Homo-oligomer: A and B are copies of this chain.
Amino acid sequence: MNKPKLHIIKIGGNIINNPEVLSSFLKDFSEFEGLKILVHGGGKKATELAESIGLTPKMIEGRRITDTNNLEVVTMVYAGLLNKNITSQLQQNGCNALGLTGADSNCILAHKRVIKNIDYGFVGDIDTINSNNIDVFLQNEMIPVFCAITHNKNGQLLNTNADTVASEIAIGMSNKYSVSLIYTFEKNGVLRNINDDNSVIEQINSTTYKQLKNEGVIADGMLPKMHNCFNALKRGVSKVIIGNPTIINNQNQAFTTLTL
């Protein structure tokens, strides 16, 4: 028997930082038919709040550290301000959104990242997606909207990478659904020339990915995103797409499809 289809769509900080782009995306998302889950990243507001209350970003070897104060800030901004404003805008569009963190109904169980060389602080690596509870929402016509805060079921909230939240939810829901994972961001897809938005590479598989890495076409921040994509495909997700947020509504928009 064919599994029913489920779309998991991730939006990043660049979309959230622009109220008009966000509003337009949320309209498209509301009109997008079928079962769906939204995962959103953070954006600049957390940094702004941290600065305005006098926190200085803690960095070790170029990596941001989430100490207690910064965890409070991201919990307030991601789970409070952003998640609830996105939820209320979706409700306005007739989309029955339900804003969630991983702590809510124990949807995403994580552990504090194990200290090797760097103690990242309250950063969570995901262990388990509670697909049964997430499915309760879907089966009752509620649209889960996840921010990237998880918990360890020991009373500790954890800051987690939003791309990873999206890919782990996609993997976790693949036991019940044929899942399409759609990463949207400010570019039109994986670009051959980062300065040319028309240079979208429309198909990437494991072999061409290696070539593109060797050529230096895929580098820097795209590498962890691509890791999440291929990890999802290897672990049961049916389809992974990277593109501009308008792809969920615009058939003529180019995008990148990843295959194993």
In the complex, A81 has a CB within 8 A of chain B: yes
Contact B103 A87 (CB under 8 A): yes
Main secondary structure, interface of A, reads helix
Report if A11 contacts B (CB, 8 A): no
Closest B residue by C-beta to A52: B53
A98 and B105 in contact (CB under 8 A), knowing A84-B75, A136-B136, A136-B140?
Answer: yes
Interface bits A75-102 vs B (CB < 8 Å: 1, else 0): 1111111011101110110001111010
* Chain B nearest CB, measured from A43 CB (Å): 14
User: Of A84, A142, A151, which is in contact with the most chain B CB atoms at under 10 Å from its CB?
Assistant: A84
Q: How far is the CA of A88 from the CA of B101 in the complex (A)?
A: 10
Does A49 sit at the interface, judged by CB under 8 A? yes
A157 at the interface (CB under 8 A from B): yes
CA distance A85 to B49 in the complex (A): 19
- Given the known interface contacts A52-B54, A54-B52, A92-B155, the answer about A101 and B87 at a Cβ–Cβ threshold of 8 Å is yes
Interchain nearest-CB distance for A122 vs B (Å): 12
Tell me the nearest residue of chain B to A157, going by C-beta.
B88
- Shortest Cβ distance from A85 into B: residue: B157
Residue of B53, B87, B104 near A97 (CB, 8 A) is B104
A181 at interface by CB-CB < 8 Å: no
Task: With both chains docked as a complex, state the minimum distance between the C-beta of A79 and any C-beta of chain B, in angstroms.
Answer: 4
Among A49, A103, A155, max chain B CB count under 10 A is at A103
Q: Mark each residue of chain A from 42 to 73: 1 if its CB lies under 8 Å from any CB of chain B, else 0.
A: 00000001001110000000000000000010
Q: Does A133 interact with chain B (Cβ within 8 Å)?
A: yes
Residue A156 interfacial (CB < 8 Å) = yes
Contact B80 A76 (CB under 8 A): yes
Which A residues lie at the B interface, using CB under 8 A? Answer: 49, 52-54, 72, 75-81, 83-85, 87-89, 91-92, 96-99, 101, 103-106, 133, 136, 140, 142, 149, 151, 153-157
